[in-house]
Structure 1
Amino acid sequence: MTLEVTSPDDAAYDDIVWDGLVHSYRPAADWKTRVSPGLKFATAADDEIDPVTFEVLRNRLWTINLAHGDTLTRMSGSPVFQGLDFNMSVLTEDGEIVMSAPFIQYLNTGSPLVVRYLMEKFSESPGIDDGDVFLASDPWIGASHQMDVCIAAPVFIDGELFAWVSNAAQQYDLGGIVPGGWPQNAPDIFSDPIVFRPFKLIERGVLRDDLEQMYRRQSRMPDMVALDLRAQLAGCRFAAGRLKETCEEFGAATVKAAMRRILDNAQAAFARKLERIPDCTLSEVLYFDEKLPGDRTTHRVQFNVTKRGSRLIVDNEGTEEQSDGPNGFTFMNFMGIVLGISGLTLLHEHTFSIGGADRQIDFRPLPGTLTCCDYPAAVSGGVLNIISAFERLQNVFARIMACDPETKQDLVVSGPDHPLLVLAGMDDRGNAFGTAMLEGAGAGGGARTHADGVDSSGLSIDPLIRMPNVEETEQFYPLLILYRKEAEDSGGAGRWRGGAGMEVAFTPYRSLGIEAITNAGGQGISTNQGMGLFGGYPSPTAHYQVFTGTDVDAQWRAGRMPRGVDELSRTEHLRLRAKSNGTPLAAGDVLMLVVCGGGGYGDPIEREPARAARDVVNDYVSRAAALEVYGVAVREDGTVDEAATAARREEIKAERRTWPPAADRFGPSPEPPSAPATGEPPREVHEYVTARDDGGRRVLACSRCDTFLAGYHGGYKAGLSISETSVEIIPRGGDPRDFLDEDMVLRRYCCPGCQTLMTCEVARRSEPMLEEIRFL
C-alpha cells in the first residue's frame, strides 16, 4: 500500500534512532564524543599550499585510486572483478570521502558510515591500530548488499590516524538459499546470504585465519571468494602504502592540506552551481515490480529533491512501506545514489570528491520504506532496484541542470536498468561453477542536449564499466556465446536518441547442467528501461528469452554460426520474468539477453531527417519506428522522402491537436499563490518552458509559441494536452500484461499551442498526473 504518512517535522525526524540495528546506522552529530581518547586524529595541515603542489597531490590521490582498482583486477580470478564491479575511496581521518574512483558510483559511498561506525564502536575495543583491516557486509551499516563487501583500513602517520582507504566489491557467492547470493524468493534477511557486521580481519598486519575460515565457510565457491577477498585486502594495503609514501615525500601536513582543499573546492563548486538554479522541488515516481517471483503488482517509489539556496534536501515521501521479498534497499544506498549522481553530474570536474557534495545535502528518507528498509528486510536480491533508482534520479538532476545554461550543456538523460543474469551449474567434469553475466554492461547511454547517447557505452553508474571478453567467459564457464550485437530500436526516441543497447545469445557447451537466475530492477522487463527527458521517449523493455530444443548444433556441424535467434528452429520459446530462481538450460537450448539504451531527449519529430535515415541504414532504428515516431519516411536506398516526411510530421501534429487538456483528464489542480513579477528577463527552466513576467505576475510559458502554461508556483504539466496509451507504442516495447495485472500507461504531454511534445511519464492508469517540478 502507499504510505499515508507525511514527512515528520525536524524534531520528530531527529528523534529517530539510527543505530544500525533496526534502522540503518547514521552517525549522530556528536559521534566523535564516543571515540576512544586513545585514538588520536592527525589534524595538522599547512595553512597554504601552492597550486602546483596541490595539483600534483590531487592527481596522486587519483592515480592511487585507479591503481587500487587495477590491483583488484590483477589479483582476482573473478570475471565480476574483471567487469570492474567495485569502487574505492580515500577518506579523511574522520571519514569524509576525499576522492572516489570512476567505477560503480554508489558502491563505496557507505565507507564513511563504516569507518565512523568503527571509530564510534570499536576504537576502545578491539581497538583501531596501524596495520588493521576491517571487513563489513552489513547493509544496515555500510554495504550496498551482502555481496558488495566493504574493506576499510586506517592509515597512521607517526602514531596518529591520518586517513582511511576503502574498497567495496561484488563477491560472487557468500551463501544464502540460491547460488550467487541474489535469492529472489527470500521473504526476509534470514534467507539471504549471511550478514557480517564489521569485524577486524587483519590485526596489526596479520590475517586472522580463524575469521577468514569462518567467512569462506558460507560460500559455495570458497576458493573464488578467498581470491577475491585477498584482492580487496591487497588493494587497501597498496593504497595505504602509497598514501604513506606520499606523506614521506611531501610531508603529512602538506598532504593533509591538499585533502582539505580538494573537499573545500568540491563543496564550493557544488554550492555555486546550486546557487545559480532557481529554488524548486522536483519529484520522480517509479515502480518496482515483483516483491517476490510471480507477484503481479507494482510498488511505488518516489524521490523528492528540494533545492534551496546552495543546499539540497532529499526525501522519499510517497514511497511504499517495505514488504516481504527482495524489493528494496537500505539508507546507505539512498544516500549513495544521490552522492553518486552528484559526482557524475554537478561535480564531474572534481574527480569524484563526493564528500564535498555530502556537506551540502540533507538526507531525510523515512525508514521502513522501500528505499530505506529496516532490518530484517531481504535486501540482497533487491540490489538491482538501486540501479533503477539511480538512473531515474539522474533525470531529476538533469532537470536541475537544465535551469542553468552552463550546467545544461553537461546533462545526460537517464540510462537503462541493469537486467542481471546469474548462471550456476556443473561443467562436464563435475565442477561447480557460477557467475554473473555482465553482458548487461553493454547498455546504451542516455541522450544529451546536443548529441545522441553513446551506443553500447555501458551503464552510467560505472563510467569505466566493461563487458568481459568473450573468450575469457568461454574459457571459465561451460557455454558458448553465439553473438553479441547492438539491438535495433533499443534506445529511447527523441530529438537526440538514446544510445543503442546490446543483444547477446549463448548456449550450454560441455555442461552437466546450467540454471539461469534472473534479477531485473524497476520495471525494466515489464514496461520500459531508461526514461526520456523533455519529450524524449523511454527506451523499451529488456528481455530474457529462452529457446529450447534448437538446431544450433546442426548449424555448427554445417559450418554456420547463427547471427540471430530468428535463424534457429526451436521447440519452445519462453520469456522469463524479472525475478526467477532457476530456469534449467539443456544442451541445445539458447538464452538471449537484450539490454536497451538510455532515454531520448526532446521531441522526436524535431530530429533531423538525415540523422533518422542514417540510423535506419545502420540498423539502430527500424524503418517502421522512423516513420511512426520520428515522422521520417526513409526510402529503400536509405535516402529521405522529403514530401512524405513533411506529410507524416504534419499528421503527427494533427493527431496531437486532438489530445484533451490534462486538466480535463485529472481535474483542475489547486491554484497555488501567484508569484509577483520579478523584473528579470525570461529564463529557460526546461527545454521547452520559459519563466517570464506577464504583467504583474511571474508565469511559465511555452518557449516555442509563448502559450501560457501555469503560474510560476504551479505545475506546468497542468497546462498541457495529454495522450494516454499502452506502453506498447514504444518501439520494440513489450506488453506489460505479460507480467502485471495493473494497468500501466504511457502518458505524453504536448503544448496545446504548438503541439511540441514536452514530457512523457509511465504510470499506473489510476495515478494522478505525476508531479515533476515546482518553483518555490
Structure 2
Amino acid sequence: MTTVHTDDLDAYDDIVWDGVQHSYRPSPDWRDRVSSTLAIDTAADEDLDPVTFEVLRNRLWTLNLAHGDTLSRMSGSPIFQALDFNMSILTEDGEIVMGAPFIQYLNTGSPLMIRYLMERLSENPGIEEGDIFLASDPWIGASHQMDVCIAAPVFVDGKLFAWVSNAAQQYDLGGIVPGGWPQNAPDIFSDPIIFRPFKLVEQGVLRPDLEEMFRRQSRLPDMVALDLRAQLAGCRFAAQRLQETCEEFGASTVKAAMRSILDNAQAAFARKLERVPDCTLSDVLYFDELMPGDRTTHRVQFNVTKRGSRLIIDNVGTDPQVDGPIGFTYMNFAGIVLGVVGQTMLHEHTFSVGGAERQIDFRPRPGTLSCVDYPAAVSGSVLNVSSAYMRLHNVFSRLMACDPQLKEDLVVSGPDVPLTVIAGADEGGRVFGTALTEASGFGGGARSHSDGVDTSGASYIPLIRMPNIEASEQFYPMLVMYRRAAPDSGGAGRWRGGVGMEVAITPYHAAAIDIVTNAGGQGVSTNQAVGVFGGLPSPTARYEVLAGTDIRDRWTDGEMPRDVAELTRREAQTLRGKSNGTPLNADDVLLLVVCGGGGYGDPLDREPERIADDVAQGRVSVEAAAALYGVVLDGDAVDAGATGVRRTEVRAERATWRPAAEVFEGTAPYDVASATAEPAVSVHEYVVARDDGERRVLACATCNHVLSDYRDNYKRGLLVDQTGVDVLPRVDDPRAFLDEDMVLRRYCCPGCQTLMTIEIARASEPMLTEVVFR
C-alpha cells in the first residue's frame, strides 16, 4: 500500500486533500469553484431580539430531535431503534449550526460532504430544490461505508438557504462478511462497497435505478431500502420544517439566528480556552490486531496544543497505516475532536460544533492510522474511532481541570465498545445480520465530584438506548438469558467509574448463527477506559463461547439459569477482539462482559463508607475493596482499624517505588520559567503551579513537594511502579493475545505518596509525556 507520511510540518500545507488518495478537505478557495448558476441566500437581519433568538434556537433543536424520531419510527431496523445515527442543520456553505444528542462524531462529516457537493457537483448534475444526495465514502464524509450520509439542500424563494443532513448505520452493504464489519479485509476492496456522492432524489423524485443499484449490494435489500427511506424522509421532514420556520419568522431572521448560534458558540469556546494556561497535552493509545489472529499492537497519539483562544490538534507519534481494518480517515479524526468539544466544553450550546471548529486547526498527517489514505480497509475498524474518541475525551478532561469552573463539568472517559455482530439464518431460512446493541450497556466515567453512572451507555451518544430484550428476541433467533451489572467493571478512584454489565445469549429457533467480534483499541487484551489523576482503568471486556452446555435440558426441566456458572459445558472459548465467523450452535451460550468508565483521583482518597456501600450494591468486590481502595470490611461494615493499617501499608509500599527520572533517563530540553509573582494555580487534581524562589514550578497540591520546573514533564519528579495490567481485577495476562508486553505504570508523589497519574504502555516505551506548559 502506498502511503504518504509527512514528517516535515513545514510541508503540511502542500498536501493535496483531494478525496482520492488523501481525504477530502476543502481548500480556502473552494467557494470559487461553486457554480455561478447556484443562487445562494446569505441575507441576515442585523438586529435580532433575544426572545426571537431563543425561540428560534429551541425551534431548531426540536426540529433536529424530530428528525431523529422520524428515522427511528420509520425504520424497521433495531439499529435505528438504538439511535445509531445523528443529524445536523447546516448553513448554506456547510457549517454545522446544530447537531443532535445521538452519536456525536457520526454526522460531523456532513460539512465535508456538502462542500464537496457544492465544489464538485453544483455545475453538473446541479443542486436544486427537492434534491437529496447520498454518500458512503469515508474519504469524503462517512465514518465508514455502513454509516450512510444523506444531505438535502433547503431552498427558500429559489435560493440555497441551508442544508439538513443525517448519517446512520445501515444494515448490510456487502463486503466479505455479513453485516459489513469484515475483520479480515486487507484493504478497501474487501470492504462493503463505497458510494461516491451522487444525487438519489431529483427535485423530489426518487431515482429507482440508483436506489436499485444501492440495494443490490446488500444481503438484506428490503431492510436497507426501509432504512434508506427513513433517512430520506428524515431529511425531507427537516427541510420542510425549516422552510415553514422561514415562512413564519422570515428567512433573514432565521438566518440571523443561525449565525448567532454559531457566533455565540465560537465566542464561548474561545473564552473558555483563554481561561486555561497555554500547554500541549498528549495521549497515547494502541490498536490491537491488524486482522484476526495478529498479535501486534499499533500506536496512536493525539497532541492538543492550546495557544490563547485556539487549539492545534495533530497526530505526530502515530504509526503509519498498514494493511488490515485498523485505521480511520480524516473525517473521523476531525469528527471525534468536534464531538468531544461539543460534549465537554460546549454542552450548553446545543452541539453547535461549527462555532468551535472556527477555533481549531486540524493538522493530522495523512498515511497514518488516524488519517489513513485510500485504499485502506476502514469498515471493520470503526470501533477504533470510539476508542480514540474516549482517549481524546480524557485529554480535554485534563485541560478542563486547569480551570475551577470548567473542572465542574469534567467527565472521565467511558470504555471501548466490544461490538458483537451476529449473522446467519433462522429455522425458516430467513437471513439476518446485525450488531448486538447489548455492547452499549457500559458504565460512564467518573466526574470530578461524583461517581460515574452505572450501565449508562456511551457518553458520546447522550440518548443511546438498548432495545428491550423482547424486541431483540423478536427480530433474531436468539434468547437473552440475562443482563446484569458486572462487579469490579468500573475504574477505581476517589470517584469510581460506573460499572458495566454482562449478558448471556443463546440461539433459539436458529438454523445457523456466526459471531463476528470487533473490539476497539485494546479493549479485550489490556484495558477498557483509562482513568485520570490517579484514577485506575476499567478492566477488559470479554467474549466467551460456552460450547455444549446443558441449557436445553434446563429448559425441559422448566429452569432458566440465572448465571452461566450454573451450566455444565463441554469447553469454553475466549474470543479475540477481532474474529470472523465463530459458530454459535444450539447448545452454546455467548457471554459478553461490557465494562465501565475510568476512575478519577487516588482510590485511597475514597471514603471507606462509600466502598462499603459499593460492596453491598454489588459494584465492587470485597477483594477489590482491600486491594485497590485499602478498605477492609467486617461483614457489611468498615473495619476502621484494619482499614487504617491497610492504607498505611499501601502508602509505604508506594514509597519504595523508584524515581521516574532514574527509570526513564533523558528528557526533552525545555526553557526554565521565571517566577511570575502570581498566586498558586491548580493545573491538576493534585498539582499546582507556583513560584519557588526565582522560578515557576509544579508542586504537589497535597504536601507542597516540588515536582518539576513549570515547563518540564512533571512525571519526571514522581515515583513510578511498573507492573503487568493483570494486577487489576477481571484482567487476564495480555500475552494470551499479544506478543508485545503491555505494562501499567503508576506514578505517585515522593512526599505524600498520593497516586497522581497512570499510563498503560508498551514495556519498551519511555515515559509518556502527559502535559507540558508553555
Indicate the TM-score class for this superposition, using the shorter chain for normalisation.
over 0.9
1:567-646 matches, within 5 Å, as 567-636=566-635, 638-646=636-644
TM value normalised by structure 2: 0.99
C-alpha distance in 2, partners of 1:422/1:482?
18
The alignment status of 1:698 with 2:685, answered yes or no, reads: no
Equivalent-residue separation in structure 1 for 2:155 and 2:114 (angstroms): 14
Superposition pairs of residues 213-228 of structure 1, within 5 angstroms: 213-228=212-227
- Residue 367 of structure 2 corresponds to which residue in structure 1? 368
Asked whether the 8 Å contact 1:440–1:502 carries over to 2, the reply is no
Native 8 Å contact 1:540 1:734 kept in 2: no
Correspondences of 1:672-751 after superposition (within 5 Å): 672-751=670-749
Q: Which residue of 2 aligns with 1:342?
A: 341
2:8 is matched with: 8
Instruction: Compute the displacement of 1:557 (Å).
Output: 2.1
Q: Deviations over 1:681-713 (max 9, x none)?
A: 000000000000111110000000111111000
- Quote how far apart the aligned CAs of 1:554 are: 1.5
SS of residue in 2 equivalent to 1:80:
helix
Q: Is the 8 A contact 1:6 1:317 kept in 2?
A: no
Secondary structure of the corresponding residue to residue 380 of structure 2: coil
Superposed displacement of residue 559, structure 1 = 2.2
Which residue type is aligned with residue 706 of structure 1?
N
Q: Which residue of structure 2 lines up, in the alignment, with residue 141 of structure 1?
A: 140
Which string of whole-angstrom CA distances, capped at 9 and with x for unpartnered residues, describes residues 400-451 of structure 1?
Answer: 1000001001010010000110000110111111111000111100000110
Question: 1:96 maps to which residue?
Answer: 95
Partner of 1:661: 659
**Equivalence for 1:252:** 251
d(CA) in 1 for partners of 2:445 and 2:701? Answer: 24
Is 2:4–2:366's contact at 8 Å kept on the other side of the alignment?
Answer: no
Q: Which residue of 2 aligns with 1:34?
A: 33
Partner-residue secondary structure (3-state), 2:260: helix
Q: Provide the secondary structure at the position in 2 that maps to 1:447.
A: coil
How far is 1:668 from its partner? 4.0
* One-letter amino acid matched to 2:239: A
4+ residue runs over 4 A deviation: 3-7
Whole-Å separation in 2 of the counterparts to 1:90 and 1:652? 53
Q: How does 1:268-287 map to 2 (within 5 A)?
A: 268-287=267-286
**Alpha-carbon distance in 2 for matches of 1:455, 1:187:** 37
Which amino acid is 1:162 matched to? F
Partner SS, residue 710 of structure 1: strand
**What residue number does 2:55 align with?**
56
Shift of residue 4, structure 1, vs aligned partner: 13
Is the CA contact (8 Å cut-off) linking 2:748 and 2:754 kept in structure 1? yes
Distance 2:272 2:558 in 1: 59
Letter of the 2:767 counterpart = M
- How many pairs were matched up? 773
- What residue identity is the alignment partner of 1:599? G
One-letter identity of the residue aligned with 1:484: R
Distance 1:660 1:203 in 2: 69
TM-score when normalising by structure 1: 0.99
Deviation of the 1:669 alpha carbon? 2.2
Shift of 1:7: 4.4
- Residue 9 of structure 1, CA deviation: 3.1
After TM superposition, the structure 1 = structure 2 runs for residues 86-485 of structure 1, keeping only pairs within 5 Å, are: 86-485=85-484
Matched to 1:707, the amino acid is: H
What's the secondary structure of 1:629's corresponding residue?
Answer: helix
Instruction: For residue 635 of structure 1, report the CA deviation from its aligned partner.
Output: 1.8
Contact 1:171 1:228 in 2 (8 A): yes
Q: Distance in 1 between matches of 2:750 and 2:577?
A: 38
Secondary structure of the 1:287 match is strand
Tell me by how many angstroms 1:665 deviates: 0.8
Tell me, in whole angstroms, the C-alpha distance in 2 between the residues paired with 1:562 and 1:51. Answer: 60
Which whole-Å CA distance do the structure 2 matches of 1:450 and 1:535 have between them? 15
1:502 offset after TM fit, Å?
A: 1.3
CA distance in structure 2 between the partners assigned to 1:326 and 1:333 by the alignment:
14
Segment drifting more, 162-171 vs 726-735: 726-735
Which amino acid counterpart does residue 379 of structure 2 have in structure 1? S
CA shift, 1:6, in A, is 7.0
Q: CA deviation at 1:151?
A: 0.1
Q: How far is 1:170 from its partner? A: 0.2
Partner Cα separation in structure 1 for residue 487 and residue 715 of structure 2? 32
For 2:48, give the aligned amino acid: I
CA–CA distance in structure 1, aligned partners of residues 506 and 528 of structure 2: 26
Aligned match of 1:651: 649
Query: Which residue in 1 is equivalent to 2:21?
Result: 22
Give the whole-Å Cα distance in 1 for the aligned partners of 2:18 and 2:4: 25
Contiguous gaps of at least 5 residues in structure 2: none
Distance 1:668 1:658 in 2: 22
1:191 is displaced (CA, Å) by 0.2
Residue identity in the other structure for 1:682:
A
Unaligned runs of 5+ in 1: none
Alignment-mate amino acid for residue 193 of structure 1? P
8 A Cα contact 2:5 2:365, kept in partner: no
Q: CA deviation at 1:20?
A: 0.1
| Partners of 1:321 and 1:369 within 8 A in 2 | yes
Alpha-carbon distance in 1 for matches of 2:356, 2:731: 37
Report the AA paired with residue 724 of structure 1.
Q
**Structure 1, residues 444-469: CA drift from partner, whole Å, max 9, x if none?**
00000110000000011201101111
- Note if contact 1:424-1:434 (Cα within 8 Å) is conserved in structure 2: yes
- Percent sequence identity is 72
Deviation at 1:639, TM superposition (A): 0.6
1:237-276 deviations in whole A, cap 9, x for unaligned?
0000000000000000000000000000000000000000
* One-letter identity of the residue aligned with 2:773: F
CA offset at residue 774 of structure 1?
0.2
